Amino acid sequence: MAKIFTLKNILIGLAILIIDLFIYFVLALLLMNYDDFYDESKGEYWNLASMTFWQKLNYIGLNIWHFINLIVFGYVIYRVIKTIRKKALLHSV
């Protein structure tokens, strides 16, 4: 059975985590533009009507990125549970 926690796998996991956090950082910085230039006359705060096209795109992109992260997190948990069950079955036989 292949080892999961090899140095290569740990480095790949850290690289993916750093890239993910970098994307969150960039999206958060871009979303700060909305906070800085919010105009009450354009509508309610965080309402899509009060946002420009690029602010809407950034807001929707951030929500899509949340969704992608939830799917990946769920898949990782699924794989871990599947691996644990497989090991438990092998050791019980």
Give the residue extent of every domain in the chain: 7-92
| pLDDT over threshold 80, residue 92 | no
pTM value? 0.80
- Separation CA 12–CA 32 (nearest Å): 30
> Using one digit for the tens of pLDDT, what is the confidence trace for 45-90?
989 999 999 999 999 999 999 999 999 999 999 998 998 888 888 7
Q: Compute the average pLDDT of residues 32-52.
A: 89
